[in-house]
């Protein structure tokens, strides 16, 4: 997501903070750019600066590990292994395993092997174009989560990842949620007990605000990315949003966004404009926000009823906000055009 898309979110978070002069309330903050996103890290207390330094290091290391265009990265090595096995660490393996679980449960709606398709649309180098069927068809033949084989590697205390030559992966649908979760863990390990991290549509909190109250986390309006549709009042958790306006381009009057449907290699046309997932696991929330955007409203709600473990806010293309009932009293709408409903 772009910097301007979450200005309102950051302002909403900052405006909700009630600070006093004691050491526990002392605020430290830093803005960094990593993993193609602007990241705001805010922490409180005497250990805040060390926590922020450790969190920054997390993002630096994750970027070096996961950037598929960086020749020294592990993902680049995987994508150019030409069918040979690549040793990967537990961090990367865990991200892939989470994605595999969500993919299986959503009938392939989440697919890490669509990287060549993402590039064909120009979403990597911003040279946007609409690829024709002759371009998409052969790329689709190389996709599918079943192309990824992951097994323990006892010799190297890691995992072996194998894919057919020509198959390439991107961890964009899981990386930000995972990295932010590790950043929160780094803050906690440094002795911080009150903090939040905002990375585009990925917000994760540590503990409560310094005054003991909950955080107010704004939810962006996918039809107007300079505004928001309301806010969620929450304790320690992860809030991840995938929206059709995160990365998109318009040509000949048509909008094309970056959330591709693995079935046809085209931007998902599911009747949703955004999906916001609230749960304790940012890595899982990231995967779910993408997969359930592709699946659409009915399938997303069925998934929630079947598997649970999270709450969800959907914004539909016909100007409705649909919340799972766990968000009743948690979500405060600030909308005129939308209707808001809660489902069980």
Task: Kindly report each contact of residues 139-143 with a partner whose C-beta sits within 8 Å and lies 24 or more positions away, as own/partner.
Answer: 139/265, 140/264, 140/265, 142/113, 142/116, 142/166, 142/167, 142/168, 143/111, 143/113, 143/114, 143/116, 143/117, 143/167, 143/262, 143/265
Residue 1 has pLDDT above 70, yes or no: no
Question: 279 pairs with which residues across the strands?
Answer: 238
Q: Which fold has domain 3-64+178-343?
A: T-fold (3.10.520)
CB 198 within 8 A of CB 43: no
pLDDT at 7: 44
> Which CATH architecture does the domain made up of 68-162 adopt?
Orthogonal Bundle (1.10)
Share of the chain above pLDDT 70, in %: 93
CB 217 within 8 A of CB 235: no
Q: State the CB neighbour count (10 A cutoff) for residue 172.
A: 22
pLDDT at 55: 98
Question: 42 pairs with which residues across the strands?
Answer: 29, 196
Q: What share of the chain is helix, strand, coil (3-state, %, to 5)?
A: 35, 30, 35
Q: Tell me the pLDDT of the chain averaged across its residues.
A: 92
Q: What is the mean pLDDT of residues 228-243?
A: 97
- DSSP, collapsed to helix, strand or coil, labels residue 116 as helix
pLDDT at 258: 94
Q: State the CB neighbour count (10 A cutoff) for residue 4.
A: 10
Confidence of residue 22 (pLDDT cuts 50, 70, 90): low
pLDDT at 273: 96
Among candidates 109, 330, 335, which has minimal Cα distance to 222? 335
CB 94 within 8 A of CB 65: no
Cα 331 from Cα 327, distance rounded (Å): 6
CB 320 within 8 A of CB 302: no
With a CB cutoff of 8 Å and minimum separation 6, the contacts of 63 are: 34, 35, 70
Q: What is the mean pLDDT of residues 113-128?
A: 95
How many residues in the chain? 344
Strands 339-343 and 320-324: parallel
Domain boundaries of the chain, sorted by first residue: 3-64+178-343, 68-162
Q: What is the mean pLDDT of residues 9-35?
A: 68
pLDDT at 247: 87
Residue 242 has pLDDT above 90, yes or no: yes
Least confident of 184-198, 212-226, 296-310: 212-226
Least confident of 2-6, 158-162, 251-255, 292-296: 2-6
Q: What is the mean pLDDT of residues 84-105?
A: 97
Least confident of 154-158, 255-259, 268-272: 154-158
CB 132 within 8 A of CB 49: no
């Amino acid at each position: 997501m772009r910097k301007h898309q979450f200005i309102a979110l950051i302002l909403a978070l900052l405006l909700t903070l009630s600070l006093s002069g004691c050491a526990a309330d002392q605020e430290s903050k830093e803005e960094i750019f990593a993993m193609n996103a602007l990241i705001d890290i805010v922490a409180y207390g005497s250990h805040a600066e060390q926590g922020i330094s450790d969190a920054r290091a997390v993002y630096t290391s994750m970027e070096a590990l996961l950037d598929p265009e960086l020749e020294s990265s592990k993902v680049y090595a995987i994508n150019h292994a030409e069918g040979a096995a690549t040793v990967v660490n537990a961090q990367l393996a865990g991200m892939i395993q989470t994605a595999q679980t969500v993919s299986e449960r959503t009938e392939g709606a989440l697919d890490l092997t669509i990287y060549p398709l993402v590039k064909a649309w120009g979403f990597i180098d911003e040279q946007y174009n609409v690829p024709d069927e002759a371009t998409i068809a052969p790329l689709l033949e190389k996709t599918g989560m079943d192309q990824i084989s992951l097994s323990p590697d006892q010799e190297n205390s890691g995992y072996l990842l194998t894919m057919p030559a020509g198959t390439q992966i991107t961890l964009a649908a899981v990386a930000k949620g995972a990295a932010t979760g590790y950043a929160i863990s780094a803050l906690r390990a440094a002795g911080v007990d009150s903090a939040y991290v905002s990375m585009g549509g990925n917000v994760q909190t540590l503990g409560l605000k310094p005054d003991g109250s909950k955080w107010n986390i704004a939810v962006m309006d996918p039809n107007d990315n300079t505004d928001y549709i309301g806010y969620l009042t929450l304790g320690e958790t992860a809030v991840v949003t995938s929206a059709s306006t995160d990365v998109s381009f318009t040509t000949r009057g048509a909008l094309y966004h970056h959330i591709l449907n693995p079935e046809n290699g085209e931007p998902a046309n599911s009747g949703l404009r955004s999906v916001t997932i609230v749960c304790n696991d940012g890595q899982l929330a990231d995967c779910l926000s993408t997969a359930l955007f592709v699946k659409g409203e009915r399938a997303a709600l069925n998934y929630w009823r079947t598997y649970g473990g999270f709450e969800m806010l959907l914004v539909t293309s016909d100007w409705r906000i649909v919340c799972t009932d766990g968000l009743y009293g948690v979500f405060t709408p600030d909308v005129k055009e939308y209707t808001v409903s809660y489902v069980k």
